[in-house]
Amino acid sequence: MGPVPPAYEADEDGMLLIGGRRADALVAEAGGTPLFVYDLGQVRARIATFRAAFPGVALHYAVKANPYEKLLSAIAKDVDGLDVASGGELALALEAGAEASTISFAGPGKRDADLAAAVSAGATINLESEGEVDRVLAIGGRPKLAVRVNPPFEIRGAGMRMGGGARPFGVDAERVPALVRRILKAGAEWRGFHIFAGSQALGAEALIEAQRATIALAAELAEAAGAPPPLVNLGGGFGIPYSSGERPLDVEAVGLALHDVLSNRPQILQNSEFAVELGRWLVGEAGVYLARILDRKISHGKTFLITDGGMHHQLAASGNFGQVVRRNFPVAIASRFGAPAKEEASVTGCLCTPLDRLADDVMLPSAGEGDLVAVFLAGAYGLSASPQAFLGHPPALEMLVGEGA
């Protein structure tokens, strides 16, 4: 299975600590399991790491990674902007206390009511098509408009590719200059470019190459349109290691390379601001999913630990969130954290489907009914990205821990 993030440790009794607190105490405080726990201290440490590596570059949080309201309210105070992908996320961002002027709204299928809400609030709309421009301009007022560009390249080795070739996202690069000129002619407030080529990349060189290409493309499009972009959102793509053998992204190397590129950027971008949009990298390792073992059973010589959790809460860990070859997220027995592994077991959820697998054939300390299982890397694309209504089981609980939570 993949590596447990280094910030986690056990107390003298061998109980997993999350944000300095015992996992069993957190479960008792929350009122049971399944439970997602998010460590705000780890999120703030990531933000500080970004600030040190990318001076002068704005940091935006991609709300889709984790929209839990307490976490979102805390993050909104520490970043420079929130990027949303629906009218619902726009409402969450505003409720979290974000200034509308720092919110950008992307997504290929915005409803007219969502567009109207964004215009009324004063959020920036990242346009995905020429047709979307028609619908925004028909609303009236003076909307804040940027263009999401479908770049002619992608991030090498990205886990999810968002650019290059035919895509439902963004406007093909060759059509962007004419669209910018139309926005300016209509009297809208021109806000710049959003260029997102991919996500979940662990190779620094691939990200450096993509950021360099993105800045060159932004300059080329601005020259062709005759309009410097006030902001260039470089997208994100920063990955975290999920599987055995994967290594953390060298963020410092990416930051140094971006600093060099921006220091020598084309003249038309001299007054432009630049932002990086991150979600998974900021919050993924800060989350733990805790489930209680309901049953221990042996079938044809294999041990199964059956929990009260599962893919209806943590779909990504089950492999049903786009994995071609299923890989195990890191898991542990919370009450024996760090203890030597003694048996091979599979951890499953409570759903009546063979897809509901949290870990296959992993080495763990011996465990049974009543023990807590911890699934790591649960801070991003967890509860809100899972089919919570499937089979009618109760929803998972969520809580935020750490100073200021």
Q: What is the pLDDT of residue 395?
A: 92
* Separation between Cα atoms, residue 329 and residue 333, nearest integer Å: 13
Please enumerate in sequence order all residues whose Cβ is within 8 A of that of 270, keeping only pairs 6 or more positions apart, or say none: none
- Give the mean pLDDT of 139-168: 73
Q: What is the pLDDT of residue 154?
A: 61
pTM of the predicted protein model: 0.93
Exposed/middle/buried for 324, CB within 10 Å: 0-12, 13-18, 19+? Answer: exposed
Residue 175 has pLDDT above 80, yes or no: yes
141: DSSP letter? S
Number of C-beta neighbours around residue 6 at 10 A: 8
Residue 197 has pLDDT above 80, yes or no: no
Residue 165 has pLDDT above 70, yes or no: no
Residue 332, SS3 per DSSP: strand
- Show the tokens assigned to 343: 């048996």
* Contact yes or no for 64/284 (Cβ under 8 A): no
Closest C-alpha to 277, from 121, 75, 26: 75
Structural domains of the chain, with CATH = 9-38+284-401 (2.40.37.10), 67-278 (3.20.20.10)
Residue 248, SS3 per DSSP: coil
* Separation between Cα atoms, residue 177 and residue 221, nearest integer Å: 6
Number of C-alpha atoms within 13 angstroms, CB side, residue 213? 21
293: left (phi over 0), alpha (psi -120 to 50) or beta: beta
- Show the tokens assigned to 21: 């607190």
Please enumerate in sequence order all residues whose Cβ is within 8 A of that of 387, keeping only pairs 6 or more positions apart, or say none: 311, 312, 315
- Give the mean pLDDT of 137-159: 81
Please enumerate in sequence order all residues whose Cβ is within 8 A of that of 115, keeping only pairs 6 or more positions apart, or say none: 125, 132, 135, 136, 139
**Displacement of CA 111 from its chain's centroid (Å):** 23
325 — pLDDT class (breaks 50, 70, 90): low
Q: What is the pLDDT of residue 159?
A: 43
Residue 221, SS3 per DSSP: helix
Q: What is the mean pLDDT of the chain?
A: 93
> Positive or negative, the Cα torsion across 180, 186, 191, 194?
negative
Q: What is the pLDDT of residue 373?
A: 98
CA distances from 259 to 201, 212, 330 (A): 19, 10, 34
Residue 161 has pLDDT above 70, yes or no: no
* pLDDT above 70: percentage of residues in the chain: 95
157 — pLDDT class (breaks 50, 70, 90): very low
* Separation between Cα atoms, residue 283 and residue 44, nearest integer Å: 9
Fill in the amino acid letter for 137. Answer: L
- Residue written as token pair 């038309």: 268
* Separation between Cα atoms, residue 123 and residue 94, nearest integer Å: 10
- Show the tokens assigned to 376: 């790591």
Chain segment 366-383, per-residue pLDDT in tens: 999 999 999 999 999 999
* Separation between Cα atoms, residue 30 and residue 312, nearest integer Å: 19
141: left (phi over 0), alpha (psi -120 to 50) or beta: left
* Contact yes or no for 274/262 (Cβ under 8 A): yes
